[in-house]
Chain A
């Protein structure tokens, strides 16, 4: 398959796949579900094919192409892949397939649900694949609407509140992104090309580089837009509500893919387009990441709602992403020990992928229980391991992955981003490392209250039957993936390494150029 067809198929196959759903009979739920699974499975296979064709040796954009879209405004339909987007694309395919398999519990208006689900997948794929800022923005918004309806229609009792909260938060972020996008557009001689914009930012483009004030302003707006998605403190309060109300498969996608767009946006857009702004805010970013780690862990510890707890654990885990991205140490305009920053960025990417597996898994595990007993109060569980031993075993592994146990995927991202942090700031590194204690605390305490103990204490004890083969299949897939990437992290590092190395290299150079051009306007360096 030609690269162009491949990328286009990955993006649009799900949406196209949704159209035949219209002719299905309303009551043919089972058939529609299988149709949906087939669609997501095909998409996942296509992403795997992309990985196979991907050349890990080069750091350049691969399979890139552009078609005129709105030519008069220099807007192109421009897609392409590099080491940063590739793993996330595969992750999206993977998580969508698993959540589609987990969608059997949805019984209300299956047709509409599946159509929105597939459109959502198109939106997510588009975000990761597009290399045109405008296109990126369009896909970003495309993704927002189906999500709104998926939460607002198929959600829990407070679904409208949660859906609107989610929508408004994200929209606020989009608006800021839109402003920043237009700033770049008009300062770059009217270009939306992300690669070209990045080149301009590093001073190797066709026009003069963006000045420092503009970079700082644009960075702040972009960062807030992406930090909402990440989510980072203090923009995180939409997450617990959205998760609690969203149906299980949507929670899986939300945690597994949507949150990664924040991190991806920062790596793909905010940093390359405003190296000066990024460095200007680096200490603040790492500090915010560290604070999110600790804050999320504390907040998780105090939850009694199982899903809220997992949602807060996401806040905590995504803090490591922010830490890893921003550990860019600069003294006198020169990047110090760039390898550690490269390592941090790699770790951040890895943490996003690992969280995509562990968090998806955790939400799935909560969902399995919720489907049976229809409540999520941690204190009303207990003894699940006695009645559902097979399920409890898998759940324990997934939760251990969240706890950051070596040999499982969660460990690598967490520990490497923390290790990379000492070079940047020993103080912040120490604080972020203390997260390991809190994480162990809330996860083990949860395991104890839910799975251990002699007997189940809540309502509907008769409904607690061992997981069925579909659920076990999802569980095993997640567990095996978690172990695989925990034991052989290089599987994920090898495709992204080149691109990240090139990214840090070009950003370091860009900053040095800017610094030597106008060292007078230096921001005071924090300790």
Chain B
């Protein structure tokens, strides 16, 4: 009898593998069709669309099994929510009563099963160590699946229109100049683009579905290579292939940390699996249970230096009679290591510089890979791996997010390339998510991940629409007034801008999606600040940056769509795009505006919150070196709930100030941007140079690597080979002496012997007289001498 888990697994696996089938078909498109056919795109859309249907079905099944429902509104959902909170509360109470039997709580109240997990197949097994491909499905997986497949479907559709000019035998690339003058031309690669997109979808969905951290790493690399292929889609452009290399290599820097995290986990825990395995005779604990037990708490030793691991029942695990532990510092290192992977993938400080360059890829790629899904994978991982993070790691995450969101937002203020503004805003928003996770706002961070995915992919597609409409002009200083020509694009973009700025009608709870999610983040940050006064920056920065965000986003909209056209040529040739491109915009706009409906009581947030493994009903006080207290944020008397209204109001004020400033500067022109630029020219240049990170890295890393590489080569040639050649020379030299010795000494000796013998012979010649008597006399003498010798020599 198939269980809910089997249905879910089947549906999501189908959704995951369909794009792979699509990839193979599209890759070999020229084998069964021709270059000018759009069929590859239809395959890609069909497969990802089917994936969306599967994900949606899975979501409904999930809803049926756990009591979550999007449509039946607050009632049922609240009940489920309360039930969950209640259970968590019970766990906590129980824990307080009896330290030792934490796992006992499961009998106390039967909680709704929160996840389904299982194994596809085994990769390898070494003694007790087992590597496998697993699946892990909870509400977060489902949200990600539905979101990714939906957005991907929209973007695939959009790309059919956007990549239309690749449907040709002679694609002329105006960016590439040939040696002999003139532009480069090549056959179009329409099918290839969709093949790469399909491969990306497969990898991304695999990442989300992964049931162990090693598998996450596998797909992590795969999305990385897809991103490489897509950024470098225009392989003939040097800038594109360089950007692709940069993206992949900077990601690898993060993955280096990830790998260290994996090594620690593998050696300390002996497993990579998230979930417990219960298919065996003796259930084995997964990572989350090992570290958090069933009560969601770290079991730290008295001195704070060791963390006790738990077994599948939630008790302390034992090995050879000793409790299994992991050094607290090692756990921190593992967390930071895995988070380093997130830094690379999500373009966080200090590895943020690859993302703006990645805009070299076609715009649909930027929308799908570099804003909505892949770069959010870092946040997803931080969220998924949340139970493994100690408060110290979370603090690190918060600060990284805090720095990133500020740095990127400031750069976005001065950039004029429409796609790059969006790229920096992506980095900044990802920083918000990281910050949220870092301050304990797990739900808020992932909430923002989903809302951001909708409004940012929308905005990227709008910018793509603008770029396509303006014939590949990307510089906003040549645009202006486009709203008259591109109505749908302009107003869907406006929805996106208002969503990211987090606007709402003051005094009511009616707002764009970004309002709710940003509100949740700022509230978490404020609650965190109230508990940890030393970390006030973690609250001030996001609040101020909310204003900056609103400013640069409205600046973008005003510069592009409002005012008078600044380049008449561009304006005259500009046109709205066909339906295949505008319909996805409208679909995404609806979600960008309303997906967060209901805020933290709404269906989306409740759905995400269902997956939270570490209950946040109580404050968590850290026990490590640094004292941090994580705010509680569930229920009506939680820390976060108390400050919610204040935080929301502050964030809204900040956003309105930013919007107002942008209006004054770019529409009313009562403040002239050029004056400010002149006033703060050094700051302006600094921002325009992207805080000079690229130059710094060039000097710090790229050049030294080349120098060391050259050293290695010359070491080989000048030392190792020199030794070899030297010894060869010495051998030749020695053999030369050998020859001389042979020729002079040995041969000389032999010759000497010969000569002496000859001369003796010839001197003895005189004795040979021929006279018989003389001979006999000599014989007689000889006989006598011999006898004499014989007699004396032989002992008696």
Contact = CB atoms under 8 A, between A and B. Distances in A.
A453 interface: yes
A281 to B, nearest CB: 21
Given A405-B221, A433-B259, A448-B242, A489 B124 contact: yes
Given A448-B242, A448-B245, A437 B256 contact: yes
A406 B217 contact: yes
In this complex, which of A405, A440, A497 has the most chain B Cβ atoms within 10 angstroms of its Cβ? A440
B713 A299 contact: yes
Contacts of B783: none
Contact of B709 (A302, A400, A406, A437): A302
Interface string A476-505: 000000000000111001000100010000
Given A237-B724, A407-B222, A436-B255, A453 B262 contact: no
A1 B255 CA distance: 50
Given A299-B712, A400-B225, A454 B260 contact: no
A421 B264 CA distance: 10
B249 A454 contact: no
A422 B235 contact: no
A165 B723 CA distance: 13
A156 interface: no
Contacts of B708: 298
A299 B716 contact: yes
A451 B236 CA distance: 9
Interface in B201-226: 217-219, 221-222, 225
Contacts of A497: 125-126
Interface centre among B255, B706, B716, B720 (most CB of A within 10 A): B716
Given A339-B126, A454-B184, A455-B184, A437 B236 contact: no
B241 interface: yes
A489 B716 contact: no
Contact of A490 (B124, B217, B225, B259): B124
Given A421-B263, A448-B245, A455-B184, A298 B709 contact: yes
B186 interface: yes
Contacts of B123: 412, 489-490
A256 B267 CA distance: 32
Contacts of A314: none
B124 A493 contact: yes
Contacts of B221: 405-406, 411
B248 to A, nearest CB: 6
A429 interface: yes
B179 to A, nearest CB: 7
A340 B124 contact: no
B126 A302 contact: no
Contacts of A438: 705
A419 interface: yes
Contacts of A415: 217, 259
Contact of A339 (B127, B248, B712): B127
Given A436-B255, A454-B178, A444 B249 contact: yes
A438 B248 CA distance: 12
Contacts of A18: none
Nearest to A299: B712
A136 interface: no
Question: Contact residue range for chain A?
Answer: 35 or more
Contacts of B255: 436
Contacts of B4: none
Interface in B235-273: 235-238, 241-242, 244-245, 248-249, 252-253, 255-256, 259-260, 262-264, 266-267, 270
Interface string A294-324: 0100111111000000000000000000000
Nearest to B262: A419
Interface residues of B, number: 59
A302 B245 contact: no
Contacts of A337: 267
Given A385-B235, A422-B264, A433-B260, A302 B710 contact: yes
B720 A405 contact: no
Contacts of B225: 400, 405
Nearest to B132: A490
B122 interface: yes
**Chain B, interface SS category:** helix
Contacts of B252: 436-437, 440
Nearest to A308: B713
Interface in B686-711: 705-706, 708-711
Interface centre among A237, A301, A406, A421 (most CB of B within 10 A): A406
A426 B262 CA distance: 12
Contacts of B318: none
Interface in A307-359: 337-340, 342-343, 346
Interface string B150-177: 0000000000000000000000010010
Contacts of A383: 236
A501 B249 CA distance: 36
B249 A448 contact: no
Interface string A415-459: 110110111001001100110111011001100100111110000
A416 B245 CA distance: 25
B571 to A, nearest CB: 32
Contact of B706 (A302, A340, A346, A385): A302
B219 A406 contact: yes
Contacts of A448: 241-242, 245
A236 B719 CA distance: 12
B129 interface: yes
Contact of B179 (A339, A400, A451, A455): A455
A414 B712 CA distance: 22
Given A237-B720, A422-B267, A444 B245 contact: yes
B232 interface: yes
B256 A343 contact: no
B769 interface: no
A205 interface: no
B235 A441 contact: no
A216 B245 CA distance: 46
A302 B122 CA distance: 39
Given A339-B129, A340-B129, A383-B236, A301 B222 contact: no
Given A339-B126, A426-B263, A453-B241, 4 more contacts: A342-B127, A383-B236, A429-B263, A433-B259
Interface of B: 121-129, 131, 173, 176, 178-179, 184, 186, 217-219, 221-222, 225, 228, 232, 235-238, 241-242, 244-245, 248-249, 252-253, 255-256, 259-260, 262-264, 266-267, 270, 705-706, 708-713, 716, 720-721, 724, 728
21 contacts: A237-B716, A237-B724, A302-B706, A340-B129, A386-B186, A386-B235, A405-B222, A415-B217, A418-B263, A419-B262, A422-B264, A426-B263, A430-B260, A444-B245, A448-B245, A453-B235, A454-B178, A454-B237, A455-B178, A455-B179, A493-B124
Give the 10 A-B residue pairs with the shortest CB-CB distance, closest first.
A339-B127, A302-B709, A422-B263, A406-B218, A454-B236, A343-B126, A301-B709, A299-B712, A298-B712, A452-B235
